Amino acid sequence: MSEQQTITLYPSRQFKDNARAALQDGELRTSLRTAMDYLMAKRLSAFPDGDELATLRTLGETIRQRCLAKLPELLEKLEAQLTVNGVQVHWAETTEQANEIIHDLIARRGGTLAVKGKSMVSEETELNHYLEARGVTAVESDMGEYIVQLAGEKPTHIIMPAIHKTKAHIAQLFHDKLPDTPYTEDVDSLIRIGRNALRDLYLKADVGLSGVNFAVAETGTLCLVENEGNGRMCTTVPDMHIAITGIEKVVEKLTDVVPLYSLLTRSAIGQPITTYFNMISSPRKTGEKDGPREVHLVLLDNGRSQAYADEQLRKTLQCIRCGACMNHCPVYTRIGGHAYGTTYPGPIGEIISPHMLGLENTKDLPTASSLCGACGEVCPVKIPIPEMLMRLREEEQRPAGEVVAHPLRGQGAAHTGKEALAWRTWRGLFGQPGAYKLFGWAATRLRGLTPPGQLGWTQNHVPLKPAAKTLHQLVRERDAARR
């Protein structure tokens, strides 16, 4: 695949426009609704015992909180153990640093082709563009990721990247982009086309890139969860394997992965287990006949330490990236992942992206929620997502100059003079009985003057109009009638 890809990016400040456009797209909405209904039903069937689910979620939460409480020590232990095992560890504070490290490693071997297993962190760093601009082609090998890369898009879901596409879209895409490919909507044939296109690349690739689901400090083991086998290909066939992950992915003990893995696959896709659970602890040892001779791990911060600094916001980092919060979110289900304009969409994206991109770039995300609470209820590690959203709403309204213990990047980004005035007026009216009474009197008499267009409200609702009588009046009348 030598063709330069054009990726469509939607800055998250355009969230409202994107959401509006997505809502008008009937085909997209049907795809999403069908997929999310399916995934919700699958998850439910994977947890037939409510007691087991409740206990397992608490166990998952406790494990993640224990690992986060020891995070700096565990990262050092992971590094030490991996180094003993022969894996080289690199640290990156920013996405730019991470990309540089990876490019340098590839360039050192004169590499020009990398095959990639699924890695949301590499989406976060925009690694493919970075490498492409420097003469290294990075090909996504997860079927869904391969499809969105061919289409020049970003994944719309962290587990099901191409969930917004129908088989007709994919048939056309393969027909248009892959040489000598006939148009077919038969899914088995489409998968075979993808398989054949990628198999050659595993052979030729200089480097395999992957993400990490759990990095075990105790044994220095990188765990990868997958169904397709492309992750195994990328981490086994090329002579160099570079894994990239966020600093929060470290777990203390090997036994920690057992409940977390069970929670992950059951919550994500309702499977009791995935086809492969790939545990990598070292490069090829003397005498072994395959596997990469070099294995590298890049640990990325990119705003995670900001979330870590505050004990409440730290819970964001408990996430094991199952996507269940998206599948159950009434907002995500209606607009899909692209509208968010961020690597991580849906509820988890709303609470993690502000740390990565700053509230100034994500100010619409904390309010892209009805606070229905479904995300928090299904989260396998019990992240109180609605509570996090409320906190971020507070932080984005906090005046930029206000000094707080843990300032967030972009603090006060959603603060506007108009909104502040509205709340001051509200407080004035509702805090003083006389003013409140006067307001009620005026509103019921002037109700005929309410305008038909009321800013954002009337885009989706009928105009607000005060009632003819205040609640106080109605109660007084009712009491009088009873007497």
**Residues 140 to 159 in contact with another protein, rule: CB under 8 A:** 141-144, 147
- Helix runs in 118-186, H state only: 120-124, 127-132, 143-150, 167-177
Name residues contacting another protein, limited to 439-458 (CB under 8 A): none
CA proximity to 233, closest of 106, 118, 322: 118
Backbone φ and ψ for 404, nearest 5 degrees, come out as -130, 165
What is the C-alpha to C-alpha distance for residues 161 and 173, in angstroms, rounded to an integer?
A: 15
Q: Which of 28, 114, 163, 388 binds another protein (CB under 8 A)?
A: 163
Among 5, 14, 181, 281, binds another protein (CB under 8 A): 281
In angstroms, give the least distance from the CB of 232 to another protein.
Answer: 5
Q: Which of residues 291-320 bind another protein (CB under 8 A)?
A: 291, 299, 301, 305, 308-311, 314
Which is nearer to another protein, 128 or 221 (by Cβ)? 221
Beta bridge partners of 240: 207, 294
Query: In the complex with another protein, which residue's Cβ is closer, 76 or 126?
Result: 76
Q: Which residue has the tokens 């005046």?
A: 399
φ, ψ at 130 (rounded to 5°): -60, -45
Name the burial class of residue 478, with classes exposed (0-12), middle (13-18) and buried (19+) by CB atoms within 10 angstroms of its CB. Answer: exposed
Amino acid identity, position 73: E
C-beta of residue 63 within 8 angstroms of C-beta of residue 260: yes
Query: Hey, which residues between 217 and 236 contact another protein (CB under 8 A)?
Result: 218-221, 227-230, 232-233, 236
Interface with another protein includes 1 (CB under 8 A)? Answer: no
The smaller minimum CB distance to another protein, of residues 112 and 166, is found at 166
Q: Within a 10 A sphere around the Cβ of 203, how many other Cβ atoms?
A: 10
Cite the beta strand spans of 172-283 per DSSP E.
Answer: 207-210, 214-216, 221-226, 240-246, 250-251, 276-280
Task: Establish if 436 lies at the interface with another protein (CB under 8 A).
Answer: no
Q: Which stretch binds another protein (CB under 8 A): 253-261, 338-346, 396-404, 430-438?
A: 253-261
Residue 365 interacting with another protein (CB under 8 A): no
Of these, 182, 272, 401, 448, which contacts another protein (CB under 8 A)?
272
Report how far Cα 73 is from the mean position of its chain's Cα atoms. Answer: 26
CA nearest to 389, candidates 337, 352, 416, 335: 352
| Residue closest to 380 by CA, chosen among 465, 314, 318, 331 | 318
Report the residue number, 35 or 365, with the smaller CB distance to another protein: 35
Distance CA 141, CA 131 (A): 16
Judged by CB under 8 A, the number of residues near another protein is 97
Q: Closest distance between another protein and the C-beta of residue 359, in Å?
A: 19
Q: Looking at residues 20 to 59 of the shown chain, list those that interact with another protein (rule: CB under 8 A).
A: 31, 34-35, 38, 49, 52, 55-56, 59
**Which of 256, 294, 350, 364 contacts another protein by CB under 8 A?**
256
Closest contact distance (angstroms) between CB of 88 and another protein is 13
82 three-class SS: helix
Q: Is 367 an interacting residue with respect to another protein (CB under 8 A)?
A: no
State the Cα–Cα distance between residues 28 and 10, nearest whole angstrom.
17
Stretch of residues binding another protein (CB under 8 A), selected from 136-144, 341-349, 374-382, 419-427: 136-144
Residues 70-109 vs another protein: string with x where CB under 8 A? xxx--xx--------------xxx---x------------
Maximum Cα interatomic distance, the chain, rounded to a whole number of Å: 97
In whole angstroms, the minimum distance from the beta carbon of 413 to another protein comes to 22
Would you tell me how many other CB atoms lie within 10 Å of the CB of residue 178? Answer: 14
Scan residues 56-75 and list those touching another protein (CB under 8 A). 56, 59, 62-63, 65-66, 69-72, 75
HSE of 157, CA atoms in CB hemisphere, 13 A: 30
| Of 182, 287, 417, 452, the one binding another protein by CB under 8 A | 287
Cβ atoms 337, 326 nearer than 8 A: yes
Closest CB to another protein among 285 and 469? 285
Q: Tell whether residue 162 is a contact of another protein (CB under 8 A).
A: yes
- Cα–Cα distance measured from residue 475 to residue 160, given in angstroms and rounded to the nearest whole number: 54
360 binds another protein (CB under 8 A): no
- For residue 162, the minimal CB distance to another protein (Å) is 6
Interface residue with another protein among 125, 213, 262, 333 (CB under 8 A) is 262
C-alpha closest to that of 67 among 317, 384, 378: 317
**Angle at Cα 198 formed by Cα 193 and Cα 203, nearest 5°?**
140
Least distance CB 203 / another protein (angstroms): 5
Nearer Cβ to another protein (76/387): 76
Smaller CB separation from another protein, 37 or 477: 37
